[in-house]
C-alpha cells in the first residue's frame, strides 16, 4: 500500500492498494475511490462492538478490498486538524483519544483502553476512556488543531488539559489528576481534572479538541425563546 496525505486544514489520506489488499475504516470515513472495490460492514462481534461504543467509535466498521487490478481509495478527516500515519508493530502499540482512528491496513486492531483510576476517571471526560491501537500495519490517526510532539524520558511527565492528549506510545503511563482547590475547580475554566502523561515514550498533543470547540461555539448561539 502506498499513501499520500493531502490538504491543509481538512486533509484526506489517499491510498493506492495492490490487488486484494484491504483497508479498515470507521463508517462514513471513505470520501472517494476508484471503481471495483468490495465493501464489507462488520461489528467484529459483540465484545468489540461494545468496546467501540465505550471508546467513542461507531459500532460498525467497513472493510474495503481492492479489485483484481488494484485501486485508489481516500479517507477524509472529520474535523479541522491533521492526519498522522503511524507504523504499528507488536512491540509498539499506541494509545489515542476517542474518535481518533480514521483507517488502517488489515493487520491493525482497535480496542478500548481504560485508565487505572476508574473511580476518578469516570468523571474525567475524554481522559478516562481512550483507544488502544495494536497489531501490525499502518494506522491513520486524526489530530485536532495543530499537533505538538514530545519525547518523554522515564523521569519526565506532562500535565495536559483533558481532551488535549491526542495520542502516546503505550509505554507511557496515563493517569487522571484532580485540580486542587474548589475555587480553581469552579472558576478556573479548566474543569475538575487534568490528564497526567509520564514517559518513556512519544506524546502527541493537540491545540484544539472537538469538545472545546463545541463549547466555544455554543456560547455564540442564541438560546431559543418562546
Position 35 pLDDT exceeds 80 = yes
Q: Is the peptide bond before 224 cis (omega within 30 degrees of 0)?
A: no
Give whichever of 50-54, 86-90, 124-128, 219-223 has the largest mean pLDDT. 86-90
What is the model's pLDDT at position 67? 97
CA–CA gap between residue 159 and residue 178 (Å, rounded): 11
Q: What's the pLDDT band for 28 if we cut at 50, 70, 90?
A: confident
Give whichever of 8-17, 161-170, 215-224 has the largest mean pLDDT. 8-17
CB atoms inside a 10 Å sphere around CB 47: 11
Residue pair 131/139 in contact (Cβ under 8 Å)? The answer is no
More confident call, 155 vs 188: 155
More confident call, 170 vs 219: 170
Q: Which CATH architecture fits 2-213?
A: 4-Layer Sandwich (3.60)
Position 209 pLDDT exceeds 80 = no
Q: Where are the domains of the chain?
A: 2-213
Radius of gyration, CA atoms only, the chain = 19
Cα separations in angstroms, 189 against 162, 179, 216: 12, 11, 12
More confident call, 192 vs 186: 192
More confident call, 193 vs 128: 193
CA–CA gap between residue 203 and residue 201 (Å, rounded): 7
Residue whose C-alpha cell reads 507511557 in the numeric block: 172
Residues 6+ positions from 82 with CB-CB distance below 8 Å: 5, 11, 142, 143, 146, 147
Residue whose C-alpha cell reads 461489528 in the numeric block: 43
Q: Is the dihedral of CA 183, 188, 190, 194 positive or negative?
A: negative
Q: Which helix (H) or strand (E) holds 142?
A: strand 137-144
Amino acid at each position: 500500500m502506498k499513501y499520500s496525505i493531502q490538504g491543509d486544514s481538512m486533509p484526506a489520506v489517499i491510498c493506492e492498494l495492490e490487488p486484494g489488499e484491504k483497508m479498515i475504516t470507521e463508517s462514513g470515513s471513505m470520501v472517494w475511490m476508484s471503481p471495483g472495490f468490495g465493501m464489507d460492514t462488520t461489528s467484529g462481534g459483540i465484545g468489540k462492538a461494545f468496546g467501540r461504543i465505550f471508546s467513542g467509535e461507531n459500532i460498525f466498521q467497513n472493510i474495503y478490498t481492492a479489485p483484481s487490478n488494484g485501486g485508489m481509495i481516500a479517507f477524509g478527516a472529520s474535523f479541522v486538524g491533521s492526519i498522522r500515519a503511524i507504523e504499528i508493530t507488536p512491540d509498539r502499540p499506541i494509545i489515542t483519544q476517542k474518535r481518533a482512528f480514521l483507517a488502517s491496513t488489515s493487520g491493525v486492531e482497535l480496542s478500548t483502553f481504560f485508565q487505572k483510576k476508574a473511580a476518578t476517571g469516570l468523571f474525567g471526560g475524554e481522559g478516562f476512556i481512550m483507544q488502544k491501537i495494536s497489531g501490525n500495519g499502518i494506522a491513520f490517526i486524526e489530530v485536532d488543531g495543530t499537533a505538538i510532539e514530545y519525547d518523554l524520558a522515564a523521569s519526565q511527565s506532562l500535565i495536559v488539559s483533558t481532551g488535549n492528549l491526542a495520542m502516546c506510545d503505550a509505554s507511557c503511563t496515563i493517569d487522571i489528576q484532580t485540580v486542587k482547590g474548589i475555587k480553581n475547580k469552579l472558576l478556573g475554566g479548566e474543569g475538575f481534572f487534568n490528564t497526567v502523561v509520564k514517559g518513556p515514550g512519544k506524546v502527541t498533543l493537540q491545540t484544539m479538541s472537538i469538545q472545546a470547540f463545541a463549547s466555544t461555539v455554543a456560547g455564540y448561539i442564541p438560546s431559543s425563546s418562546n
